[in-house]
Amino acid sequence: MIIDCHVHLRHGDEERNEYSPEDIVGVMSATGIDHSVVFAMSCPTRRSIEMASAAARAFPARLIPFAYALPGGEGSVVAELEEAITRLGFRGIKIHGGECDLSGRVIDDVLGLAVEKQVPCLVDFIGRHKDLERMARGFPGLDIVTAHLGKYLCEDVELIDRFIEVACRFPRVYLDTSGVVLDGKIMEAVGRLGASRIVFGSDGPGPRTDPARTAREAIERVRKEGLGADEERAVLGGNIAGLLRL
């Protein structure tokens, strides 16, 4: 079973590309993905909840909704997030360091809610490993899924190594494989952390001309690392299934 932990209903790219639930399920069917975590970004929390909620209602057996936390502008978003989790069945929270200040003053009430509700946070730290370390230390009961092993399309070996080192010290830190371009790095992370802490993500869909390409290449990237069969199964789906209690 393949579970994609990182799929955008709305991307944070320049065009703010949106993909419908039908587009996403089409990509999943074309690439053999059984379930996907879906969320929107580059929009207010409330809108992200509307979009992911509609997607999960359309495909309840395939799509798993996460809410996008964008605190800061107009007061707390905790009440909206709490409602999404408790009333609408949302299974986690997405946070992006490029759109949201990750300092405690701004984000800690969101992290506290995630601990209370025992849902994971999928966080793009945009290369800032100190933010990951602060969160992991401050919230030992929080499952943190670190997007892209730490930074999207990162060719800086030392930077990704810093993220792996932080993950080594905090057992509830996970790393997602989306947007990884360093050959062998996923295998190395599995070797250092154990396969149980690496989770498959595509960061799809895209591009418009071939929406399944990102997911196809993301699966290939994991498969070509040469993991053992059990490890590969865990990374491609088993681990996130456990985290989300599927």
The site for Zn ion (CB under 5 A) is made up of 203
Nearer CB in complex with Zn ion: 161/176: 176
Nearer CB in complex with Zn ion: 203/232: 203
Residue nearest to Zn ion (CB): 203
CA distance 189 to 231: 12
Least CB distance to Zn ion at residue 13 (A): 9
Least CB distance to Zn ion at residue 50 (A): 19
Structure token digits, residue 50: 């509307």
Nearer CB in complex with Zn ion: 9/77: 9
Nearer CB in complex with Zn ion: 161/203: 203
Least CB distance to Zn ion at residue 191 (A): 25
Query: Is the distance from CB of 173 to CB of 134 less than 8 angstroms?
Result: no
Least CB distance to Zn ion at residue 59 (A): 20
